[in-house]
Amino acid sequence: KQEVTQIPAALSVPEGENLVLNCSFTDSAIYNLQWFRQDPGKGLTSLLLIQSSQREQTSGRLNASLDKSSGRSTLYIAASQPGDSATYLCAVNYGNNRLAFGKGNQVVVIP
Amino acid sequence: DGGITQSPKYLFRKEGQNVTLSCEQNLNHDAMYWYRQDPGQGLRLIYYSQIVNDFQKGDIAEGYSVSREKKESFPLTVTSAQKNPTAFYLCASSIESGRVNEKLFFGSGTQLSVL
């Protein structure tokens, strides 16, 4: 059974620092990995999707890497801003768009 | 605006009562999904549908039922058999579930609580 772990569960950083969020998964047989953002009481917004054949994806200040063989992905957020405060969820696609989710990294960026 | 609409935003259930959560999408997506989110937990798949008039159980289908009579709509019924229904319920859709690199689009969720 695919299990997804996100470390750390929660972190606070001062504004301007870079954020590094980690995700690990137990079964390397995945189709893709997605990073989502969730604000309190809201739905999920897809940030980046990395295909299993890719090593990284970038969008603006966000960069996500994927090491499928070791079962790890990292989300980097450069020059963090207070508006980046949210929970970030990692999910792996193991077929038919069925996703296994981690519990999330809860981020607070301090002005 | 295209998107996924979930209603109501908040719902209360009395013991022994069935309640239905609505999910409508105007993205012309074939596949739709229901997830449950508990505090501090990852999302768990309840049911998913790849096409109209077809749906499959996810990892935690017991106590829930769904229908997919129209492409746009995928309502979820929480039955009295679900003994711990309090959770945040999220509906999602994708163009096709069989294509492996499709992003999921989520609704804004329904918070269900037991009275």
Q: For chain A, state the CA radius of gyration.
A: 13
Terminal CA-to-CA distance of chain B, rounded, Å?
Answer: 35
Is A34 within 8 Å of B102 when comparing Cβ atoms? no
On the question of pLDDT at B101 being above 70, the answer is no
What would the pLDDT profile of B24-65 be if each residue is shown by its tens digit?
999 999 999 999 999 878 899 999 999 999 999 999 999 999
Tokens linked to A63: 């960069």
Q: How confident is the model at residue B115, as a pLDDT?
A: 82
pLDDT for B15 equals 84
CB contacts < 8 A, A to B, total: 67
Helix (H) or strand (E) holding A101, with range, is strand A99-101
Structure confidence at residue B106 (pLDDT): 94
What are the pLDDT digits (tens) for A11-66?
Answer: 999 999 999 999 999 999 999 999 999 999 899 999 999 999 999 999 999 999 99
Closest residue, chain A, to B88 (C-alpha): A41
Chain-chain contact of A43 with B41 (C-beta, under 8 angstroms): no
SS3 at position B113: strand
**Beta-carbon separation of B43 and A34 below 8 A:** no
Mean pLDDT of B69-84: 95
Q: How many Å apart are CA A47 and CA A105, to the nearest integer?
A: 14
pLDDT value at position B109?
96
Burial class of residue A85 (count of CB atoms within 10 Å of its CB; 0-12, 13-18, 19+): middle
A52-104 residue pLDDT tens? 999 999 999 999 999 999 999 999 999 999 999 999 999 998 876 678 999 99
Nearest to A22 by CA among A31, A30, A33, A14: A33
Quote the pLDDT of residue A45.
Answer: 94
Residue B96 binned pLDDT confidence (cut-offs 50, 70, 90): confident
3-state secondary structure B18-45: CEEEEEEECCCCCEEEEEEECCCCCCEE
Closest Cβ opposite residue B31 in set A34, A95, A97: A97
pLDDT tens sequence across B47-58: 999 999 999 999
Find chain A residues with C-beta within 8 A of B111's C-beta: 41
Query: What percent of chain B is helix, strand and coil (3-state, nearest 5)?
Result: 0, 50, 50
Per-residue pLDDT at B68: 98
C-alpha span between A104 and B13 (Å, rounded)? 28
Task: Give the pLDDT score at A18.
Answer: 96
Quick check: B104 contacting A, CB < 8 Å? Answer: yes
**The pLDDT value given to residue B99:** 61
Q: Is A68 left (phi over 0), alpha (psi -120 to 50) or beta?
A: alpha
The rounded percent of chain B whose pLDDT value lies above 70 is 94
State the pLDDT at residue A79. Answer: 97
